[in-house]
């Protein structure tokens, strides 16, 4: 299990990129961030979130999949301040990387969702269903993503929102947290 204490070592978007990324890496992440356009319905949903969710993302500033996905989470947090997003560099935290392997391999991005009091709620990551559907249509061989754009970005954004919403419902309906908040 990944300890919540790592959240304190993780960095917000801009600090993560300043510390671990090149100017070119930051430009790729910022292009995605600028391209993410949330629908009115997505903003309305995010605006209803009430429980704090700490989202710890294992990432690499150099990674195309991270550049194409991680900025989406920051867009969500702009609309829903209860979402606290922080990034860990996968190479700086090899124990976290090992703990978060997917299918026996080191993959990024991987998000671990924690409750306000540090309980692990869920994990999600590497690539979303939208990205895998595209990849399956293009190739049966090994492919390394270089980011997402256009219609795929819309799908990947929704894939991530579905996961964030799922976590929010787990938190909102948690008997422990309902007792704590009196709701």
Q: Which two tokens stand for residue 131?
A: 């990205």
> CA 116, 56, 161: angle at the middle one, nearest 5?
85
Angle, CA of 149, 152 and 158, to the nearest 5°:
115
Whether pLDDT at 136 is above 90: no
Q: Is the pLDDT of residue 143 over 50?
A: no
In terms of Cβ atoms closer than 10 Å to its own Cβ (0-12, 13-18, 19+), residue 108 is: buried
42-90 pLDDT per residue, tens: 999 999 999 999 999 999 999 999 999 999 999 999 999 999 999 999 9
94-134 confidence digits (pLDDT tens): 999 999 999 999 999 999 999 999 999 999 999 999 988 88
> CA-to-CA distance for 164 and 24, rounded, in angstroms?
28
- Candidates 110, 108, 123, 45; CA nearest to 82 is 45
Query: Burial code of 1-22, b = ≥16 C-beta within 10 A, e = fewer?
Result: ebebebbeebeebeebbeebbe
Non-local (6+) Cβ contacts of 33 within 8 A are 13, 71, 74, 75
Q: What is the pLDDT of residue 146?
A: 53
pLDDT over 80 at 20, yes or no: yes
pLDDT at 134: 86
Residues 76 and 163: beta-carbon distance below 8 Å = no
Backbone Cα Rg of the chain: 16
**Residue in the structure block whose two tokens are 């700086």:** 92
Residues with Cβ within 8 Å of residue 118, at least 6 apart in sequence: 4, 7, 54
For each of the domains in the chain, give its residue range(s) and CATH number, in order of start.
6-181 (3.40.30.10)
């Amino acid at each position: 299990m990944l300890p919540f204490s790592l959240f304190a070592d993780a960095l917000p978007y801009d600090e993560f990129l300043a510390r671990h990324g090149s100017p070119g890496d930051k430009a790729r992440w910022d292009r995605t961030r600028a391209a993410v356009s949330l629908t009115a319905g997505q903003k309305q949903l995010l605006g209803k979130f009430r429980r704090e969710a700490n989202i710890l993302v294992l990432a690499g500033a150099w990674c195309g999949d991270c550049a194409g996905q991680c900025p989406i989470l920051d867009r969500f947090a702009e609309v829903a301040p209860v979402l606290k997003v922080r990034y860990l560099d996968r190479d700086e935290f090899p124990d976290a990387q090992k703990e978060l392997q997917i299918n026996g391999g080191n993959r990024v991005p991987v998000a671990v969702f924690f409750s306000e009091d540090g309980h692990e709620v869920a994990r999600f990551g590497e690539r979303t269903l939208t990205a895998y559907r595209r990849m399956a249509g293009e190739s049966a061989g090994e492919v390394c993503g270089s980011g997402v754009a256009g219609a795929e970005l819309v799908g990947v954004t929704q894939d991530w929102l579905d996961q964030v919403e799922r976590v929010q419902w787990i938190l909102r309906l948690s008997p422990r947290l309902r007792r704590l908040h009196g709701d």
